[in-house]
Chain A
């Protein structure tokens, strides 16, 4: 206490010497880490979140498949056939468009979503009255290279979307109403706080799951040791889809990587299927996409699990599907 008084006296009455000043500065700096203990509890937030709430979408069809030669026009056509973007995006909505841009590859190599599809969706969302359109992905390769070389950053920014690198510290822990292997998994807050979530995967080959589709694409908002999601992946991805509940799923099957996925890199592995799918349901979209490349949906672990659990629209034959040719 005496020392403190002395210090106070020196600070207030006498001019400080250089040595004293330096000492004061160092002791002040040493106190800085204490902010964690004093300020953290004040700003403490509930550390978990229980997923996005379900919204009923009234679309003309459950799924629309459009063929053609221009991904941009095909996307616009598919959404219009569904009844327009107004069915999914309300006025002043904050929209999140989640493409697959996890890889440092060009659009021709078909490891990422076609930039034209993303651009069309951004444009449609703004036309439907969206306040803000965010586009991001937690990438597997370096984020700057992936954003740039996938072509999505430029395409989406040109249409007015904000494309940014998500902050890894801005996450929350997933909480489920039922026992789930994903309980407490860190998930980006930005993915939960949006009003409309549009999931825009690319259809391509994957070593573990056979194909990577809309449900696999949602892994891009998860943080943590993502490699561990690969164990029991079927159940985890179904739970994740249930947690995020995307309003709209648009699958880019224009160029399809059929071998050596999900990274690819060889244009020889790419086949042009020239199809864009739009659907209100992830499971339906994924099982329809499987048919495009002649894969049995039940061989895809997360689709098999979804069928078993009765999650989403499982029966393709009973779904309202519209096919539009070129």
Chain B
């Protein structure tokens, strides 16, 4: 029976990776790219509150909460792909963790405060779900670390086989077929992605010290589910217990107390206590059926003590401090980066963006890159267009189609053609025709606006006629293809400025 749960975890983990892997042009996956996010009540609630909008995913994720009301935190134990990774890392941890009841209680209460902070901030219009939500952490690591890493390695292996070992023929055909499908034409690269990986390793790696530490102590989605699961209909009952305490020391969530009773909200239905019990004294049963010894247990910590209050107050202050710097400051920071096409004003954008990395994964030219600290800590891992890496393809609307929270609106192709990301500015001190009187106009050649936002003027003052480009600000949409294709190195002679 334990294998069933493992299979379920493996299935959902593979499904999760598959969905993100198929989040690429031409977007023909079996499931929509935002599936796991619309199933996530925390994201849907936090973004709806902070962004003041109604996401259709609210209804979908509410179904999951209803299911949790019926059977408990099955999501954490059977579905959550991050939980699967955490369980896998937990296999390294062989020692029995006999944590005292009081310690367990303190530990599990932390996540409720985190949840509370996220929801309170969301009410005040600040979205913090991106920091701790497990779906987002998992998606970011899969999209920005795992898939680029795997495709890079596969590509290198094929290059080695074909170029260095000379295996052409079948291998080359396979490589070309893979490139058109699984590998993708571009091998993606994301700047600073190792920091995302470090964060993921921290989240998963703590499990090697204490099993499911993240899920026990920190996960706000787990806290939300725990809240609902504490009154779930399915419950655990122990009859004729021998007090061997085996179930307690093995429980991966620290949900079982010394007296073999348990905290309902903490149970993720891994059912280990059911199989491990040497006298088969443990059963799971529906609470509307007559039962003997189940007693209701409170979900979170009982009451707030001084330390918890201080923790709550300090973190709220920190969170608010990170954002309440006035609209002017936000506007100023925004000028540091080019946002994806159609992105709302900076404050709204930050309230909606959950940093899941879908837009960066799908961006057809690899132009969307994670922001580090250019826009302050509040903008961490949000997408920006880096024209040197990739420009915004004129007729491509993929990023808006995969955004789970409408931070990037879904545009039609006609709307996209009229959407402006920035303004191209020519640096006449570097531009070849302007500075050195040489022919070039690569920027004008590539400009996708049908009437050309980059115009040419002929100049024959210093010798043979040379065409010099200049930007028509009214027409420029700031797609960045001019900057991408500009042959001047290392800094390009035409650069897009954010709006």
Chain A interfacial positions (CB closer than 8 Å to B): 35, 39-40, 43, 104, 140-145, 148-149, 162, 164-165, 167, 169-170, 206-208, 225-228, 230-233, 260, 262-266, 269
Contact = CB atoms under 8 A, between A and B. Distances in A.
Contact of A263 (B163, B364, B440, B445): B445
A208 B441 contact: yes
A96 B140 CA distance: 42
18 contacts: A35-B160, A104-B395, A140-B446, A141-B393, A142-B364, A144-B364, A145-B364, A145-B396, A164-B179, A165-B185, A207-B445, A225-B489, A227-B440, A227-B442, A230-B439, A230-B445, A231-B438, A263-B447
Nearest to A43: B164
Nearest to A165: B185
Given A145-B396, A230-B442, A170 B485 contact: no
A23 to B, nearest CB: 16
A35 B163 CA distance: 13
Interface string B149-163: 000000000011011
A264 B432 contact: no
B452 interface: yes
Interface in B112-138: none
B164 A232 contact: no
What's the dominant secondary structure at chain A's contact region?
loop
Contacts of B446: 140, 263
B450 interface: yes
Contacts of B209: none
Interface in B37-72: none
B26 interface: yes
Q: Which 6 A-B pairs have the closest CB atoms?
A: A227-B487, A265-B450, A266-B450, A227-B442, A164-B176, A228-B487
B7 interface: no
Nearest to A139: B185
Contacts of A230: 439-442, 445, 487
Contacts of B175: 167
Nearest to B24: A144
A322 to B, nearest CB: 34
B486 interface: yes
B300 interface: no
Given A165-B176, A260-B452, A207 B441 contact: yes
Interface of B: 25-26, 159-160, 162-166, 175-176, 179-180, 185, 364-365, 393-396, 432, 438-442, 444-452, 456, 467, 485-487, 489
Given A164-B179, A231-B432, A231-B439, 4 more contacts: A39-B165, A104-B396, A169-B163, A231-B438
Nearest to B164: A43
A39 B440 CA distance: 41
Given A231-B440, A263-B447, A144 B25 contact: yes
Contact of A40 (B164, B394, B438, B450): B164
A144 B440 contact: no
Contacts of B179: 164-165
Contacts of A165: 176, 179-180, 185
Contacts of A260: 450-452
Contacts of B441: 207-208, 230
Contacts of B452: 207, 260
A226 to B, nearest CB: 8
Given A43-B166, A144-B25, A269 B393 contact: no
Nearest to B166: A43
Contact of B487 (A170, A207, A225): A225
Given A164-B180, A230-B487, A265 B449 contact: yes
Identify the interface centre among A43, A265, A266: most chain B CB within 10 Å of its CB.
Answer: A265
Given A43-B166, A145-B396, A225-B487, A269 B445 contact: no
Contacts of A225: 487, 489
Contacts of B467: 207-208
A238 to B, nearest CB: 15
B485 A142 contact: no
Nearest to B455: A207
A227 B486 CA distance: 7
A226 B486 CA distance: 9
Nearest to A268: B450
A266 B394 CA distance: 13
Contact of B445 (A148, A208, A228): A208
